[in-house]
Structure 1
C-alpha cells in the first residue's frame, strides 16, 4: 500500500483507465502496446461505458498498429486464428457489432476473400508478418487507417 495522496479527480481517472502489463525477455525489445500510453481517442470514453466488442476492437487496433510499426517495408500484417485450421488472412478491414461481435475482413494467401466473425469471448488472434501483395509499391498499413477512424469516431461522439 502506498501513502501517495491523490485528489478525487485523480482517483476517478485511475479507476477508469485500464491496466496493462508486459514483460519481455529482451530488455531492448521495441515498446509493445501495453507499454505505450493510450491515445486520447481511446481514453475519451470510460471503459465501463464501452461494450465488450468496442473495447476489444479498440485494443486490437493498438496491437495491429504497434505490430505494423515493426515490419519491414516489404511486409504487411496478417493474422492467424488459433484453435482452428483456417490458416492466415491478410487484414484488410476490421469492425465490431455491439455488444459482443468482432469481424475481420481480408484475403487468404491464394487471393480468395475471407471474413472471420468472432464473439469477444472466443477472441484469440495471432498477428503475423507476410510479404506485401505482388505489384504493390508500398505495404498496406491497415492499423494506421483503423487508428485514424477510431480518432474520427470518438471526436464525432464528443460533438
Structure 2
C-alpha cells in the first residue's frame, strides 16, 4: 500500500465519532432511470442537527417517515394524494392528514379512510410497517393536499425553536 493510501485509512477521533452519528442508507433499483428515493437525498439540517443517539426510536422513525412521505408526494401528479395501505390486515387505506410520535416508542397516523370516515393508527416502532399509496384526491378539494411539505416545515420550525 502506498503512503498516500495509508493516510486515507487513518481518521481522527472526531471523524470516527461524526461517522458513527451519521445514518447509513442505501437503495438499489433494477431500472437505471428509477425515481430518486428518500435514501438518495441528503438529510435536512433540521433532522441531521441532532445526533441519532439523542433521539428516541419514535422521533427517529417519525423523522424518516416524513422524508419518505415527502419523496413519495414529489412523484405524484395533481390528481393524487399520499395514503397509507395497512400491511397484514383488511382495514383499507388511510389518507394521511397527520403524523405524530409519542416518546419513546409510539408513532401515530391521522387521517380518513376511502369512505371519509376518520381513522387513526397508533403503532409501536418495533411493529412499524407502512405502505405508501397514491390515492385520488378528494373531489371537493381543488388542489391535492401535500402533508410531506408541511411535516418538513414543522421539523424546521421545531429545530429553530429549540436552537
Bin for the TM-score computed over the shorter chain: over 0.9
Counterpart among 14, 21, 27 of residue 26 in structure 2: 21
Whose radius of gyration is greater, 1 or 2?
2
- Alpha-carbon shift at residue 10 of structure 1 (Å): 2.5
Equivalent in the alignment of 1:93: 98
1:58-88 residue CA offsets vs partner (Å, 9 max, x unmatched) = 0000000000000011100000110122111
Q: Secondary structure at the match of 2:158?
A: helix
Measured after TM superposition, the shift of residue 153 of structure 1 is 1.0
Report how many residues are paired. 157
What is the TM-score normalised by the length of structure 2?
Answer: 0.92
* Alignment partner of 1:142 out of 138, 147, 156: 147
- RMSD of Structure 2 on Structure 1 (CA): 1.2
User: Which structure 1 residue ranges, 5 or more long, are not aligned?
Assistant: none
Alpha-carbon distance, 1:89 to partner? 0.4
TM, length-normalised to structure 1: 0.95
Displacement, 1:132? Answer: 0.5
1:6 equivalenced with 2:15 (yes/no)? no
Q: What is the deviation of 1:120?
A: 0.3
The answer to whether the 8 Å contact 2:82/2:132 transfers is yes
- Aligned pairs for 1:10-159 (under 5 A) are 10-158=15-163
Paired with 2:11 and 2:153, the residues of 1 have a C-alpha distance of: 34
In the aligned structure 2, how far is the partner of 1:81 from the partner of 1:17? 30
Q: In the alignment, is the contact (CA less than 8 A) between 2:92 and 2:114 conserved in 1?
A: no
Q: Distance in 1 between matches of 2:64 and 2:31?
A: 23
